[in-house]
Chain A
C-alpha cells in the first residue's frame, strides 16, 4: 500500500511557541491531504482538507489562524500550530489521497505536548 510519513513523531514545546508538522506522501502524488486530531480513546476528528495549490477548507470550530495548513506540492503538506497552548496537546494525524476514487492512507501521527 501507499506510504505516508509524518515528522516529527513526537514534539514537546512551551506554551506560546509554534510547532510545524510535516506530512509527506512517499510513493504517490496526493491531490488531497487531510489533517485530523485525536484525543485519547476518541475517534479521529477531521480538522481540515487541503488540495495542492489552494487554500485549505477547515471544519466548523477549527480556527484557521491557529492551525495553518500549507499544501505546497503534491507530496507535502504542513500543519503549523501557532501560539500553542496546553489544550492543543493531542495526537495529530495526516492522511493523503491520490484521487477522488482512491482511498486515504494515513501517516503514523505526531504526538504534541504543550507545557
Chain B
C-alpha cells in the first residue's frame, strides 16, 4: 500500500461546477497537509497548507482534513477553465530532513 493514494483521473467538469479532489494516507505521523497545482511544464504552485483537522477556506478553494479517517480533500467552487491543471496532494512528517510525500496527482479539465 502506498503511503498516499490519489485518483489520477482525468476529471472533466463544466465551468461553474464544484470540484472535489481527494487523497487518503496510511501514515498517522503525517501532520502537515498541502495541495499544489501544477500546470503543464511548470513547477508545482502551493494552493493550500493545513495542519489541523477541519476546513480551511481561501477564495474558491477549501481544504478539508480528517485525521481520524486519514483523508484530505480540496474543493473548488465555481470552477473556471483556468483551473484546468494537475492537483497534487502532499503531506509531511515534520522532522528535519524529511521531504513531502506526494500523491500521483489528479488531472482536472474544466470546459467552458
Contacts and interface: CB of A to CB of B under 8 A. Distances in A.
Contact of B32 (A43, A103, A108, A111): A103
A78 interface: no
Q: Is the interface of B mostly helix, strand, loop or mixed?
A: loop
Interface residues of A, number: 25
Contacts of B34: 103-104
A29 B94 CA distance: 18
A57 interface: yes
Contacts of B21: none
A110 to B, nearest CB: 9
Interface residues of B, number: 23
Given A43-B102, A43-B104, A103-B34, A51 B49 contact: no
Interface string A38-79: 000011101001010000010000000000000000000000
B60 interface: no
A100 B96 CA distance: 5
A105 B105 contact: no
A4 B102 CA distance: 19
Given A1-B46, A100-B96, A111 B36 contact: no
A25 interface: no
B94 A103 contact: no
Interface string B3-17: 000000000000000
Given A43-B104, A103-B34, A109-B42, 11 more contacts: A34-B99, A34-B100, A57-B97, A93-B43, A100-B95, A101-B32, A103-B32, A103-B46, A103-B49, A104-B99, A106-B36
Interface of A: 1, 4, 6, 32, 34, 42-44, 46, 49, 51, 57, 91, 93, 95, 100-101, 103-109, 111
